[in-house]
Amino acid sequence: MTTTEFAAPGTTADQVAAVSRLARSGLFGEYVVYERPGAVVFAADPLATIELDTDRIRVIAGGRVTDEPWTGRPVTVLERTLDQLRMSDPTAATGTVYGWIGFEFCAHSFDAEHHLAPGIQLAHLMLPRIEVVLTELGTTVAGASDAESAYIANVLGTPAEPMPTARPIDVTLDETGYRERVSTAIGEIRNGQYDKVILSRRVPVPFKVDLAETYRLGRAHNTPARSFLLRLGSLEAAGFSPELVVAVDLDGTVTTEPLAGTRAFGRGRDSDSAARTDLESDPKEIVEHAVSVRASCTEVATVANPGTLTVTDFMSVRERGSVQHLASTVQGHLSPHHTPWDALEVLFPSVTASGIPKRPSVDAIFRLDNSARSLYSGAVLTFSAAGELEATLVLRAVYQTDDSTWLRAGAGVIAQSTPAREFEETCEKLSSVSPYLVPFTVSE
């Protein structure tokens, strides 16, 4: 494996511009851009790909394709397959896997497979040939040829172009019957079927989007916990994740960051301050957050050593683009009897994107959410050869296939909810992305 080092573009904006240019170049095929604290990664040109569907798993590696049925736990199937791929291909850039898991990945954990049609994709992971890591200390390029390294160095040294022009869309129209679906959920909650559910709505975008430029422009106007830009198979997406579903670091610390409770942000200092005061004092929002933290504690405790569970930064306010949330951090130390994949399984989907208790709320989502979620409220996943895992929640994103482009957002429904307010909350969240959509032009 060849490794080259360069100077780094200075700011996060410069780094985001550089990886966006790499993505737009078209030279690297499929890719995942992943921004985590202190680094922006461009991973591309898969040596191996894993596609997990509801009933089959396909592995593409070394010019060969295997396609076979699978049974058991999805996390076990992925873990075993990845271990086999890493052992069989030592030419991978770093051994770190990148990709995504969709919301429907959780169906097997909650006996909800009957809701899934055959062939729905649950996960798409890849082992990249090339990995470019940009930090404030420098840039490392692994796995590239000399010509590719020279091209990457040229891209990194090119000044960022002016920001592109966006074409905002109206997110206040609803053809999905969202308010009626929320009303149905409120009735089920008051009947004792579950305590909370996150229902969402899909908003079509009436033009093809330049995802890389939308990512660059949107990132300049958002303050995410993580951000991402990807093209894997038939799906492209760009987004600004507000929270981690789960992270497991090298010393075994398991972290999740439940967000629940939302108000608009970015409407001026006085309006933002008033909204924050309202958020911190609203009984509905406080209850919604408290039950989410309690559920996260219960989940982390199932895979953590006894006595290691902690809650920090409890009910702080975190600003995430066009909204501000109540937020907490829940941690524990991974038990020697569990793996990072066990932590992912127990914490996925995020409690703040599914509901409480998860089993009946997941069932309600499949019944009431109007269409398959796919990547929305799933996770962008990275998993290193050393055992570090991150799954970042996919919200505040734009999604695209050859046939369509869309946004999606949801809101937490509890007994005290009103359909009008939950619809308004979806509009606030959609506004993290909808003003920054850059149309794709043929000349590009």
Which residue in this structure is represented by tokens 């069932």?
363
**DSSP 8-class letter at 69:** E
C-beta of residue 121 within 8 angstroms of C-beta of residue 51? yes
Distance CA 438, CA 46 (A): 27
Q: Which tokens hold the place of 90?
A: 């030592």
DSSP reduced 3-state for 386:
coil
**Do the bridges between strand 235-241 and strand 389-393 make them parallel or antiparallel, or are there none, so unpaired?**
unpaired
Query: Which one from 236, 243, 288, 390 is the annotated catalytic residue?
Result: 243
CB contact set of 336 (below 8 Å; sequence gap of 6+): none
3-state SS, residue 402: coil
Q: Compute the distance between CA of residue 296 and CA of residue 346 in angstroms, rounded to an integer.
A: 10
CA–CA gap between residue 341 and residue 333 (Å, rounded) = 14
- Long-range Cβ pairs for the range 384-388 (8 Å, 24+): 384/94, 384/95, 384/96, 384/97, 385/86, 385/94, 385/95, 385/96, 386/250, 387/248, 387/250, 387/340, 388/247, 388/248, 388/249, 388/250, 388/340
> Would you call 244 helix, strand, or coil by DSSP?
strand
Q: CA separation (Å) from 143 to 17, 27, 34, 45, 89?
A: 22, 14, 18, 10, 13
Name residue 390's amino acid: E
Cα of first residue to Cα of last residue in the chain, in angstroms, is 33
Distance of alpha carbon 410 from alpha carbon 349, whole angstroms: 14
Q: How far apart are CA 421 and CA 217, in angstroms?
A: 29
149, 141 contact by CB (below 8 A): yes
CA distances from 87 to 59, 127, 311, 338 (A): 14, 12, 38, 22
Q: Please confirm, yes or no, whether 30 is among the known catalytic residues.
A: no
Which tokens is 264 given?
A: 């608009």
Residue pair 144/4 in contact (Cβ under 8 Å)? The answer is yes
Active site residues: 243
